[in-house]
Structure 1
Amino acid sequence: MSLLLTHTRYQFMETVRVPISVIGNGFFPAASMLFFVVPFTGDDPAAATLATASMMTFAVMTSGLFTHGTGVSNDREQPWDPYVRTLPAGPWPRLGGRILNALLFTLIGVLPVLVISALFTEATATPAQLALGLGALVAASVPFQLLGLFIGYALPFKGALAVVQLIFLPLAVGGGLMTNPVQAPAFIDAIAPYLPTRGAVELVWAAAGYGPPRTLALVMLAVWTVAAGALAVWAYRRDEGRRFA
Structure 2
Amino acid sequence: MALTLVHTRYQLLRTIRIPIALVGSAFFPAASMIFFVVPAAGDDPTGAVYATASMVVFASIISNLFGHGIGVAEDRAQPWDPYTRTLPVGLFPNFAGRIITGLMMMLLSMLPVVVIAAVFTEASVTVWEFLAGLVVLIVASLPFMLMGLAIGYLLSTKAALAVVQIIFFPLAFAGGLLSAPDAAPGFVKAIAPYVPSRGAVELMWAAVGDFEVNPTAVVSLVVWTAAVGAVAVYAYRRDEGRRYR
TM-score by length of 1: 0.98
1:45 matched residue in structure 2: 45
Aligned residue in 2 for 1:149: 149
Q: Give the match's secondary structure for 1:213.
A: coil
Whether 2:244 is the aligned partner of 1:235: answer: no
- Structure 2 residue aligned with 1:127: 127
Gapped runs of 5+ residues in structure 2?
Answer: none
- Identity rate, percent: 58
**What is the alpha-carbon distance in structure 1 between the residues aligned to residue 79 and residue 244 of structure 2?**
13
Tell me the equivalent position of 1:98. Answer: 98
**1:23 and 2:17 aligned:** no
* Partner of residue 199, structure 1: 199
Q: Report the RMSD for the aligned CA atoms in angstroms.
A: 0.9
Distance 1:187 1:38 in 2: 26
Contact 2:34/2:116 (CA < 8 Å) preserved in 1? Answer: yes
Tell me the CA shift for residue 182 of structure 1.
4.0
Give the 4+ runs in structure 1 shifted more than 4 A: none
SS in 1 for 2:10: helix
Alignment of 1:6-17 (within 5 A): 6-17=6-17
Partner of 2:78 in structure 1?
Answer: 78
Work out whether residues 70 and 161 of structure 2, in 8 Å CA contact, stay in contact via their aligned partners in 1: yes
2:168 — aligned with what?
168
- Between the aligned partners of 1:149 and 1:88, the Cα distance in structure 2 is 21
CA shift for structure 1 position 210: 2.0
The CA distance in 2 between the partners of 1:130 and 1:182, in whole Å, is 22
CA contact (8 A) 1:143 1:225 kept: yes
Q: TM-score, normalization: structure 2?
A: 0.98
Amino acid aligned to 1:133: G
One-letter amino acid of the structure 2 residue matched with residue 73 of structure 1: A
Q: Which region of structure 1 is more displaced relative to structure 2, 129-138 or 170-179?
A: 170-179
Shift of residue 14 of structure 1?
Answer: 0.4
2:185 is equivalent to residue 185 of structure 1: yes
What per-residue deviation string (whole Å, max 9, x for no partner) do you get for residues 126-163 of structure 1? 00000000000000110001111110000000000100
Give the whole-Å Cα distance in 1 for the aligned partners of 2:170 and 2:229: 21
Partners in 2 of 1:235 and 1:137 — Cα distance? Answer: 25
Look up the equivalent residue of 1:216 and give its one-letter code: T
Shift of 1:108: 0.5
CA drift at 1:54: 0.2
* Shift, 1:82, TM fit: 0.4
CA distance in structure 1 between the partners assigned to 2:78 and 2:215 by the alignment: 43
Letter in 1 for 2:223: V
Counterparts of 1:2 and 1:171, CA distance in 2: 35
- Distance in 1 (alpha carbons) for counterparts of 2:179 and 2:139: 23
How many angstroms apart in 2 are the aligned matches of 1:188 and 1:43? 26
| 1:223 corresponding residue in structure 2 | 223
* Contact kept? 2:49, 2:209, Cα under 8 Å: no
Q: Contact 1:36/1:178 (CA < 8 Å) preserved in 2?
A: no
CA contact (8 A) 1:25 1:108 kept: no
Stretches of structure 1 lacking an aligned partner (at least 5 in a row): none
